[in-house]
Structure 1
Amino acid sequence: MVIPVQNPEVSPYTPAPPTNTDLDYADLPIIDLSKATTAEGRIGLAEQVTDAMTNKGFFYIVNHGYTPEQTKRIFDIANVPFEHVSEPEKHVYAGTMKITGSYQGYKLRQYWHIANGVHDQLEHYNLNRDVTKREHPQAVRPLLPEIEAFAKHNHFHVLHTILRLLAIGLELPEETLVNMHRYDAVGETYVRFMKYYPRSPEEEEKTQNVWLKGHTDFGTITILYSQPVAALQILTPEGNWKWVRHINNALVINAGDAMEFLSGGFYRATIHRVVQPPPDQQSYTRLGAFYFAMSDDNIRLAPLTQSPVLQRVGVKRRFEDDKTPTMEQWRKGRTTAYGQSELTKNGEVEEEMINGVLVKHYN
């Protein structure tokens, strides 16, 4: 007789109710990932994903293989590092971003400067997809098998499927990008649990309600599990900020710098930010579950010029050939600098140079 394995008991996390505020939402495509099981289905989805990544930079995924119950369990787990670990223990497991260029461990509150002397009210807990890379707080340890299963689901079922669709969109062999994102390779693809806490009226005024400045992600693909607190906004090509709508049990997908570099500018790393939620949600915390994907550390982020599509439309090079960074060099440069470096004001935009590339932050 096989005895079913009982998962550890975890206090349930109660999310905020959806907002009733009428917001200006972005019109983002919805991709049904269940159609990717056949070659014909992938070709059809690739057209949708290519259009989304070239024109919007964001899209939703549904039917991604996790049930609503599994997703709820992940949010219950995501809350543990914040609510069931003491402040002294959090400091023991704090990340060493400025030293190592790695987010593994906690990104504690008030680490990043936002504006006018105000620092963030945001905590992360980050785990490399290889959850044995470093030690974890005591409350997290019994949950590591489930977190590892979550990482593998995102990597093999979601990320690799998206990468195949993006390769088809570049008219490259389906495994081109997958082979740059090996699960057992050296790299920093990681699970991130994230929690925003409400701020004081004085902090909101000093930052003009911005919780996290407009930025691009530095990896290849970001997978966000949709949650109900409205706060995420994307910058449209027309220069307008639009809200990202919550869809139950959907994933929100966007490309980062590394994908823009590899695709020669064909796929867009879209600027996005986090702002104060609407009034009916301002008393709630905002809990997030993410999978941040990066290519293997040794991959040079040079355009895939063998792509027939890039040969037709042209390549936007961000580096001279002999100065193209590896994924490791780019992630370490972005991680050590973010929220810590001196920025140069250029009108509404703040700028810094990282590895010879002008990186912009939007307030």
Structure 2
Amino acid sequence: MPSLTVPSIPHYTLPPITKENLDYADLPIIDLSKADTSEGRAALARQVCDAMTNQGFFYIINHGLSPAQSERIFDIADVPFAQVDDEEKQKYAGTMKQTGSYQGYKLRQYWHVDGGVRDQIENYNINRDVNKRQHPEAVRPLLPEISQLMALGLELPEDTLVNMHGFDTVGESYVRFMKYYPRSEEDELNSKNVWLKGHTDFGTITILYSQPVSALQIFGLDGRWRWIKHIENALVVNAGDAMEFLSGGFYRGTIHRVVQPPIDQRTYTRLSAFYFAMPDDNVKLAPLLDSPVLQRVGIKRRFEDGADVPTVEQWRKARTSAYGQSELKTSEKDKDVEEEFINGVLVKHYN
């Protein structure tokens, strides 16, 4: 993390929080300062387990990062966008559709959103291998702690999930800096104010630095979309497909989307910083059958019986190359849902 010798870069000033009265999701808050004792860890494991089986989203506080360190992350996150010109961005553009790998830039208008509207989002993605590119390391130490808590919820050894995320093995865990730019009124109308369709992430967990521009929403069990509230210097964690597959449906890959911000924030760009955790490429996405919990509650399979369970590499490449590029079919059950089959799994996108 930052020291006295860090490079000087422009400071990114985060926008003010919205004053609108939004319908916020009631998410658990995990206080990592309580993880110092076995009793505290057990209590946190129960709290995380409950969050992952219900909402699939939760906040983390007292994670060891100071407010100044979090501010520095946003300063760094803005550099690939504000300090790099369009010509140089093209040189480092990613080849997601061809390779199924989110590395380098995802430039604007790469994804189709809806109604002929293409996105106004820039990504810069950096592989977890620090020898390939320089990137912030602040979130990396958190992954083992979060994974341990989730493993405890399944009543498995604490290192079960950690061992699937080897930083020195072949895999695609990565840091993402993401910048959303305001859109035209015509694009908002044609896309029904949706900036990024409702979807599940395809890794195990996603860690997001909380930021003030309200746009992220989750789809609740009651069928309603609710906003994610900003908590100063908090991290927001959610589960993805790989976690749902490995836990036999016990933990939920939560559906979330990004929409147009409230009126008092619509002139601002929205800068985000993420860590997407993926198991090693050779891990089979089959349920962890040794879990006593799964033996008690049963397994909800996403793969058809007899289907060849994909590896992490197969799943991430298929999801990455298809997103925003493939032809989707409207669901027969819900006109606001579009569907596609990837590796024998029904994947839904919510408008």
TM range (shorter): over 0.9
Match of 2:320 among 330, 335, 339: 335
1:132 Cα deviation from its structure 2 partner: 3.1
Spell out, residue by residue over 1:201-223, the C-alpha distance to the aligned partner (whole angstroms, 9 max, x if none).
01000011000000000000000
Q: Percent identity?
A: 69
1:37 Cα deviation from its structure 2 partner: 2.4
> When the two structures are superposed, what TM-score results if normalisation uses the length of structure 1?
0.93
Aligned equivalents of 2:143, 2:299: Cα separation in 1: 24
Aligned equivalents of 1:329, 1:181: Cα separation in 2: 16
Match of 1:229 among 207, 213, 226: 213
1:41 Cα deviation from its structure 2 partner: 1.3
For the pair 1:119 / 2:114, whether they are aligned, the reply is no
For the pair 1:354 / 2:339, whether they are aligned, the reply is no
What amino acid is the match of 2:235? L
What amino acid is the match of 1:62? I
Mapped contact 1:219–1:257 kept (Cα < 8 A): yes
Per the alignment, residue 344 of structure 1 pairs with: 329
**Going by fraction, where is helix more abundant, 1 or 2?**
1
Aligned equivalents of 1:79, 1:167: Cα separation in 2: 34
1:133 Cα deviation from its structure 2 partner: 2.7
Mapped contact 1:49–1:165 kept (Cα < 8 A): yes
What amino acid is the match of 1:326? T
Per the alignment, residue 149 of structure 1 pairs with: 137
Aligned equivalents of 1:302, 1:86: Cα separation in 2: 44
Per the alignment, residue 298 of structure 1 pairs with: 282
Structure 1 stretch displaced more, 72-81 or 318-327: 318-327
Spell out, residue by residue over 1:115-156, the C-alpha distance to the aligned partner (whole angstroms, 9 max, x if none).
11100000000000113336xxxxxxxxx2xx2433xxx233
Per the alignment, residue 130 of structure 1 pairs with: 129
Per the alignment, residue 60 of structure 2 pairs with: 61
What amino acid is the match of 1:227? Q
Mapped contact 2:195–2:259 kept (Cα < 8 A): yes
Mapped contact 1:125–1:193 kept (Cα < 8 A): yes
Mapped contact 1:224–1:251 kept (Cα < 8 A): yes
SS in 2 for 1:292: strand
Mapped contact 2:203–2:277 kept (Cα < 8 A): yes
Spell out, residue by residue over 1:164-202, the C-alpha distance to the aligned partner (whole angstroms, 9 max, x if none).
111111111111111111111110000000000000001
Match of 1:325 among 292, 310, 317: 310
SS in 1 for 2:151: helix
Aligned equivalents of 1:14, 1:322: Cα separation in 2: 50
Mapped contact 2:239–2:252 kept (Cα < 8 A): yes
Moved over 6 A (4+): none
1:5 Cα deviation from its structure 2 partner: 4.9
Aligned equivalents of 2:98, 2:336: Cα separation in 1: 30
Match of 1:240 among 191, 206, 224: 224
Aligned equivalents of 1:183, 1:69: Cα separation in 2: 27
SS in 1 for 2:348: strand
What amino acid is the match of 1:325? P
> When the two structures are superposed, what TM-score results if normalisation uses the length of structure 2?
0.96
Aligned equivalents of 2:4, 2:22: Cα separation in 1: 44
Mapped contact 1:24–1:242 kept (Cα < 8 A): yes
For the pair 1:270 / 2:258, whether they are aligned, the reply is no
1:33 Cα deviation from its structure 2 partner: 1.1
1:322 Cα deviation from its structure 2 partner: 5.3
Mapped contact 2:61–2:235 kept (Cα < 8 A): yes
Aligned equivalents of 1:149, 1:351: Cα separation in 2: 36
What amino acid is the match of 1:353? F
SS in 1 for 2:27: coil
SS in 2 for 1:350: strand
For the pair 1:208 / 2:192, whether they are aligned, the reply is yes
Mapped contact 1:67–1:249 kept (Cα < 8 A): yes
Aligned equivalents of 1:205, 1:337: Cα separation in 2: 25
Q: Which runs of 5+ in 2 are unaligned?
A: none
Aligned equivalents of 1:321, 1:31: Cα separation in 2: 39
The count of corresponding residues between Structure 1 and Structure 2 is 345
Per the alignment, residue 258 of structure 1 pairs with: 242
Q: Supply the RMSD in Å over aligned alpha carbons.
A: 1.1
Aligned equivalents of 1:29, 1:248: Cα separation in 2: 15
What amino acid is the match of 1:334? R
1:321 Cα deviation from its structure 2 partner: 5.5
SS in 2 for 1:155: coil
Mapped contact 2:282–2:312 kept (Cα < 8 A): yes
What amino acid is the match of 2:194? V
SS in 2 for 1:89: helix
Aligned equivalents of 1:55, 1:9: Cα separation in 2: 43
Structure 1 stretch displaced more, 4-13 or 193-202: 4-13
What amino acid is the match of 2:251? Y
